[in-house]
Amino acid sequence: MRVFAHRGASGNYPENTLSAIRAALQADVDGIELDVQSCADDYAIVHDTWLDRTTNGTGKVNQTSLQEIQTLDAGNGEFIPNLQQVFDEIGHKSMINLELKHTFSLDKFVACIEQNIRQDTFAREQLIVSSFDHHQLVWLKQHMPWIKIGALTASIPLHYAEFAQRLHAYSIHIDKNFINHQFVDDAKQRGLKVFTYTVDKQQDIEDMRALGVDGIFSNFPCYAKMILSRS
């Protein structure tokens, strides 16, 4: 079972920052999940929706300028990174799951990814783009047919994993509190990988393994890997 660091190793470091990414890489994670969105002047920023909970700023990232975002402290003196800084930090070292946090124009996002792949900052195979906004995922797949799509859902849809198959997704990312055997079996029959979030406690980690999911997102990836290393 793969372990993705949720917002980096965010249980011990400020979430969605370079220190959280470095700690995750040190833990030798399979992948790193990060939240991405555009700020008010349309630059791709790696952060959750609101600034209040995580920084000394206030308001929403998508209503704040890049200049202002660059002045904020994201915890322990860390800055809020942009997409390029994250790509440079991770390089070829692990899978990268970018979760789109709100609806925005994806042209620049696509251009940034393609440029980094041309420059071999990372390889295509490493990247998964996920979102609760499935319309954004359809648009992305049309413009980058090679992209691995992660279809996010908080709950079990009426027709199980069918929605993700229709999106030509690579994986489904589902809340651990809703997942069950029927859902996992249905997704697997459709050739989809199943990842669950956010899985931190020993019992939850073991339950996910027993369900046969392909991966988990954890705030404590080092701990999760330790639990999974036990037979």
Task: For 168-219, give the DSSP string.
Answer: T-SEEEEETTT--HHHHHHHHHTT-EEEEE---SHHHHHHHHHHT-SEEEES
Residue type, 106: L
Q: Per rule CB under 6 A, is residue 87 in the interface with ligand G3P?
A: no
168 included as an active-site residue: no
Q: Indicate the residue whose CB is closest to Mg ion.
A: 99
Residue 47 annotated among the catalytic residues of the structure: yes
- Total number of residues binding Mg ion (CB under 5 A)? 2
Q: Does 38 bind ligand G3P (CB under 6 A)?
A: no
The sign of the dihedral angle between the CA atoms of 97, 92, 14, 198 is positive
Enumerate helices (H) and strands (E) in the chain, giving the number of each.
9, 9
From the list 6, 102, 143, 159, the catalytic residue is 6
Exposed, middle or buried: residue 99 (CB in 10 Å: 0-12, 13-18, 19+)?
A: buried
Asked if residue 200 binds Mg ion (CB under 5 A), the reply is no
Per-residue x/- track, 186-205, ligand G3P (CB under 6 A): -----------xx-------
Q: Is 33 in the site for ligand G3P (CB under 6 A)?
A: yes
- Encode burial over 181-208: b for 16+ CB neighbours within 10 A, e otherwise: eebbebbeeeebbbbbbbbbeeebbeeb
Per CB under 6 A, does 220 bind ligand G3P?
Answer: no
Q: How far is the CB of 30 from ligand G3P (least distance, A)?
A: 14
Using the minimum distance from each CB to ligand G3P, give the nearer residue, 16 or 116.
16
CB of 119 to ligand G3P, least distance (A): 26
The only residue of 15, 35, 186, 200 in contact with ligand G3P, by rule CB under 6 A: 35
Strand 215-218 relative to strand 44-46, pairing: unpaired
Asked if 37 and 108 count as a contact pair (C-beta separation under 8 A), the reply is no
**Nearest CB to ligand G3P, comparing residues 130 and 165:** 130
Residue numbers annotated as active site: 6, 47
Binding site for ligand G3P (CB under 6 A): 6, 33, 35, 99, 130, 152, 173, 197-198, 217
